[in-house]
């Protein structure tokens, strides 16, 4: 049984290593103030172009609008924040549609690679990647818990595992709550 857990621990860790490194890199860069950049391009709209309120959903209205601007563009879902509509995922080129004060403005937004990684980290990527991240969360739990179990069940590692785990818990509690 122990050999199986070691093998699973190593295989799952190796499988998720690329995305875990991406999460560590993007999170670290973000915390150090490197949040990435976007190139924003305000688009000139024909005066007769509107965001139709007659369509059943905002998604359909935005889709119809963007078909006239960028027929090849497709989005998975829409974030609505007041008068601002943002196509998602935002880890790739996306559009912001602002409909404040009766005016309609459309901005094309291109994230650089750091901003794209940060957006993936935040869960603003493609739906399939978000599903993968959910699976990865369980994988990470397995990696950590199996590593602890392996350390605690190995007689020669038990004391070091207990000491370092307890130390990590104390540091976490102090930094997070005091």
Tens of pLDDT, residue by residue over 117-166, are 999 999 999 999 999 999 999 999 999 999 999 999 999 999 999 999 99
- How far apart are the C-alpha atoms of 123 and 91, rounded to whole Å? 9
Do residues 97 and 42 touch, judged by C-beta distance below 8 A? Answer: no
Q: Strands across the sheet with 84-88, in order?
A: 38-43, 105-111, 94-98, 84-88, 77-81
Phi, then psi, of 25 in degrees rounded to 5: -65, -50
- The angle at the Cα of 157, spanning 151 to 161, to the nearest 5 degrees, equals 60
Instruction: Report the sign of the C-alpha dihedral through residues 53, 57, 120, 71, in that order.
Output: negative
Average pLDDT, rounded, for the chain: 93
Whole-prediction pTM: 0.85
Instruction: Map out the domains of the chain as residue ranges.
Output: 2-34+126-169, 38-111
Which residues of the chain have a pLDDT value below 50? none
Residue 77 bridge partners (DSSP) = 88
- How far apart are the C-alpha atoms of 143 and 149, rounded to whole Å? 10
């Amino acid at each position: 049984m122990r050999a199986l857990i070691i093998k699973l621990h190593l295989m799952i860790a190796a499988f998720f290593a690329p995305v875990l490194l991406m999460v560590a890199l993007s999170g670290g860069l973000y915390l150090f103030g490197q949040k990435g950049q976007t190139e924003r391009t305000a688009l000139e709209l024909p005066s007769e172009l509107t965001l139709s309120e007659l369509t059943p959903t905002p998604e359909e209205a935005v889709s119809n609008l963007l078909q006239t601007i960028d027929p090849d563009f497709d989005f998975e879902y829409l974030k609505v924040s007041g008068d601002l509509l943002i196509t998602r995922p935002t880890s790739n080129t996306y559009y912001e549609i602002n409909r404040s004060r009766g005016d309609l403005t459309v901005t094309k937004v291109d994230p650089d690679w750091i901003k794209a990684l940060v957006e993936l980290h935040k869960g603003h990527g493609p739906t399939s990647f978000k599903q993968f991240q959910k699976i990865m969360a369980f994988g990470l739990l397995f990696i950590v818990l199996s590593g602890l179990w392996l350390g605690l069940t190995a007689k020669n590692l038990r004391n070091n595992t207990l000491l370092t785990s307890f130390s990590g818990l104390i540091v976490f509690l102090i930094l997070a709550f005091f």
